[in-house]
Structure 1
Amino acid sequence: MQTATLNTNKAFDVHSVRKDFPILNREVKGHRLIYFDNAATSQKPQSVIDALVHYYTQYNANVHRGIHSLAEEATAAFEATRDAVKHFINAAAREEIIYTRGTTESINLVAYSWGRQHLAQGDEVIVSGMEHHSDIVPWQIVCEEKGAQLKVIPVNEQGELELEEYRKLLSSRTKLVAVNHVSNALGTVNPIQEIIQLAHAQGALVLIDGAQSAMHLDVDVQALDCDFLAFSAHKMLGPTGMGILYGKKHLLESMPVFMGGGEMIKEVTFEKTTYNELPYKFEAGTPNIADAIAFKPAIEYINTIGKENIRKQEDLLLQHATQRLKEIEGLRIIGDNDHKVSVVSFVIDGVHPQDVGILLDNKGIAVRTGHHCVEPLMQRFCIPGTIRASFAFYNTVEEIDLMVEALQKAVKILR
């Protein structure tokens, strides 16, 4: 299988890296694709694509249940990814790595298993004002069922959490704080270490939505001391339909099962069922085998390029984009602060974001427009949505300049 063309001992060369991503060679509407929708999903290197094809053509079989060679090969590859994830986030044990379909399912698993078990009348759950809907709705549902209350950390004009207000929200009634590490809509990096420490001082657990941080930041669950971490493979070069829930082992062991079926059981009779050990207790049914296997080369690719190289390239792109976008009259960046990953979310006076998105697409430029599944955050800024350009390490400064040129033309047309 093809591996990354670079390693951390070599200087980063974005043009060499781009050769590993076949989709970047395609054209859209007569223009070379410029892909600036990486916060929604990242593109895949050839090594990930090869892993999917290799599984289906060489050892397609169910895992854990067969003694034949294909089943054993599939099981070994499937479980090797779990070990890779464990090392990637520095979990204490492989049993703490639960496979899910994505960040959304991971959060729902905690809400419906831990939440229904531990929340009671008068308890409180704290979320932030910049949460994705998938970190709001599950907690609303469980809080309504249990008579608990949902509290919200406010967001300031710069798109940052108001930590003093967070301190005031915390109390002995707080049972869990669920907050994203990085805002998908603004790119803001939240002070997660301090958030966790303050919550733990009140005896509350912390769930981190790491969907936007796992690719860009160093995430060490033991150093952070978070209780749960949820993230998705498809936002970090891996396949769709594959997610991870990390949980401290003692918490996962104490939680009731999430779904019933095959694999999550030890023994079934009509009188009683006994459940499997971790991590399989939470992995009912035939899993997403191919995508789990193909997640490992994605992690290996990131490790080969190196998080430091990724950050340097993406910081360069963020700074250049921020500077160039501010040249456009009437353009306002939402969440213009110094603690960000490579996301720029903006509005333009008198222009609807969707119209801009359509005109950019006509030039082969893919951005995201709308509320980005954070409607409460959009309401906080009194806007219907934004234009969001999100960059990956395989993007270039030249692509940003082409986007700015296209934006300037679009504004002239739409005004």
Structure 2
Amino acid sequence: MKTFDIQKIRADFPILKREVNNKPLVYLDNGATTQKPKAVIDAIVDYYTAMNSNVHRGVHYLSQISTDAFEVARRKVQGFINAEHEHEVIVTKGTTESINIVASCYGRAFIGEGDEIIISAMEHHSNIVPWQMLCDEKGCKLRVIPMNDAGELDIEAYKALFSERTKLVSFTYVSNALGTINPVREMIAIAHEHQVPVLIDGAQAVQHIAVDVQELDVDFFVFSGHKMYGPTGVGILYGKESLLNAMPPYQGGGDMIKEVTFEKTTYNELPFKFEAGTPNIEAGICLTAAIDYIEEIGLDAIKAYEDELLAYATDELAKVEGVRFIGTASHKSSVISFIVDGIHPYDIGVILDKLGIAVRTGHHCAQPVMDRFGIPGTVRASLAMYNTTEDIDNLVQGLKRAVQMLK
């Protein structure tokens, strides 16, 4: 395992040097978006100063080097998740669009009236609403895997949800609201016993856990660049070649065609069939820098450090009077959600912000999770590789101050 030098890592993130409300920034909202290392910022500047041009369209020099860099990024993602083919990597604008592509295209081709889609009780709205829209359009039905009081999915109940009408399973690898790490290998294997394909929302996973899509044997895997230290506005849809080839395109436009006449259009091959129009070129290219940064440190080292930090934060926050954790699964990633008896999460968040501490409050785009626990929302501290025990100490002291003021 590589040496984990936290001070060197923190020095790579310029924004961590700034102050908020005359206090040193303590950034604990990484589940919403991560900060960017200088390597990524420099890559963005370099793109616009040295190669800005459209891709896949020009014979001139700038277009060629931009296109080459864009396709290097695709191959970088292929290696990062160990996809078998680079054309199985579709560049999107984020996890949400990636899920919507599958809901629209796979749904259009393979799901009909009376069919069923299985999701879980802990999903982000982005992995609920597209399937509800499909159900409204097609007359199909959502089936929901329940979870227990610890925020763990009921696997026996999951097994019982399958029927001859089940056409897809879609669930999160790591809950954005609870931090639960789901048993993805087991759940994929169960679905495949019924010949049902699986989509995994990896938005909260790839920055914390090494992912091998071939080893998982997952059919679709989606994630976003901005949650893994990369730019906003870029995401990835991985899909098995056979499924992507069988699906109709999502949008019509430039680059997703081979030939267009007024009578007929012939669609392009993978991956371009699903990449209509000018992409977010800068973000796609600069995703390479983010992956290089993660790989240089090493996901094993990142996970080990973050696991220690999560344990420390859990122990220290538990000492604060009135704190109750929401999500106590035995396998968790770097998310701590909690409430304080008698105090609204929003009020806590406002006071913490005055102290320079950034957390998320509310339902975290996971309202059914909050309904399951009978609460309006939580305070969520989500950790990244650049966070420290000092950040946690500041959070705890800030929380104690908030409790004293609000009780």
SS of 2:361 mapped into structure 1 = strand
Q: How far apart, CA to CA, are the structure 2 residues paired with 1:191 and 1:116?
A: 29
Q: How far apart, CA to CA, are the structure 1 residues paired with 2:113 and 2:49?
A: 53
**Structure 1 partner of 2:285:** 293
The one-letter amino acid paired with 2:336 is: V
- Post-superposition shift, 1:331? 0.6
Q: How many residues align?
A: 407
Of the three residues 355, 376, 380, the one matched with 2:347 is 355
1:317 matched to 2:309: yes
Of the three residues 375, 378, 392, the one matched with 1:400 is 392
**Structure 2 partner of 1:97:** 89
Of the three residues 123, 126, 141, the one matched with 1:134 is 126
Of the three residues 69, 76, 79, the one matched with 2:68 is 76
Of the three residues 356, 359, 362, the one matched with 1:367 is 359
Cα RMSD over matched residues? 0.7
The one-letter amino acid paired with 2:339 is: V
**Structure 2 partner of 1:5:** none
- Post-superposition shift, 1:16? 1.0
The one-letter amino acid paired with 1:39 is: G
The one-letter amino acid paired with 1:378 is: M
Residues 371-397 of structure 1 show CA distances to partners (whole Å, capped at 9, x for unaligned) of 000001100000000000001011000
**Structure 2 partner of 1:192:** 184
Of the three residues 320, 324, 332, the one matched with 1:328 is 320
Q: How far apart, CA to CA, are the structure 1 residues paired with 2:218 and 2:237?
A: 12
Structure 1 unpaired stretches of 5+: 1-7
Of the three residues 272, 275, 278, the one matched with 1:280 is 272
The one-letter amino acid paired with 1:162 is: D
SS of 1:189 mapped into structure 2 = coil
- Post-superposition shift, 1:90? 0.3
- Post-superposition shift, 1:59? 1.1
1:33 matched to 2:33: no
Q: Which moved more, 1:328-337 or 1:271-280?
A: 328-337
1:386 matched to 2:399: no
Q: How far apart, CA to CA, are the structure 1 residues paired with 2:391 and 2:366?
A: 27
SS of 1:245 mapped into structure 2 = strand
Q: How far apart, CA to CA, are the structure 1 residues paired with 2:329 and 2:195?
A: 31
Q: How far apart, CA to CA, are the structure 1 residues paired with 2:106 and 2:69?
A: 30
Identity of aligned residues (%): 59
Q: How far apart, CA to CA, are the structure 2 residues paired with 1:244 and 1:30?
A: 38
Q: How far apart, CA to CA, are the structure 2 residues paired with 1:260 and 1:85?
A: 25
Q: How far apart, CA to CA, are the structure 2 residues paired with 1:260 and 1:120?
A: 23
Give TM-score, length-normalised by structure 2. 0.99
- Post-superposition shift, 1:313? 1.2
1:237 matched to 2:235: no
Structure 2 unpaired stretches of 5+: none
- Post-superposition shift, 1:337? 2.1
Residues 266-296 of structure 1 show CA distances to partners (whole Å, capped at 9, x for unaligned) of 0000000001000000000011000101100
Of the three residues 7, 10, 15, the one matched with 1:23 is 15
- Post-superposition shift, 1:143? 1.4
1:150 matched to 2:142: yes
Of the three residues 260, 265, 273, the one matched with 1:268 is 260
SS of 2:91 mapped into structure 1 = strand
Contact kept in structure 1, 2:210 and 2:300, CA below 8 Å: no
1:61 matched to 2:53: yes
- Post-superposition shift, 1:303? 0.3
Q: How far apart, CA to CA, are the structure 2 residues paired with 1:175 and 1:215?
A: 29
SS of 2:207 mapped into structure 1 = coil
Residues 236-262 of structure 1 show CA distances to partners (whole Å, capped at 9, x for unaligned) of 000000000000001000100100000
The one-letter amino acid paired with 1:406 is: G
SS of 2:343 mapped into structure 1 = coil
- Post-superposition shift, 1:86? 0.2
The one-letter amino acid paired with 1:307 is: L
**Structure 2 partner of 1:117:** 109
Contact kept in structure 1, 2:150 and 2:327, CA below 8 Å: yes
Contact kept in structure 2, 1:172 and 1:203, CA below 8 Å: no
**Structure 2 partner of 1:4:** none
Stretches (4+) displaced over 6 A? none
Q: How far apart, CA to CA, are the structure 2 residues paired with 1:132 and 1:351?
A: 24
SS of 1:175 mapped into structure 2 = strand
Q: How far apart, CA to CA, are the structure 2 residues paired with 1:261 and 1:21?
A: 38
SS of 2:292 mapped into structure 1 = helix
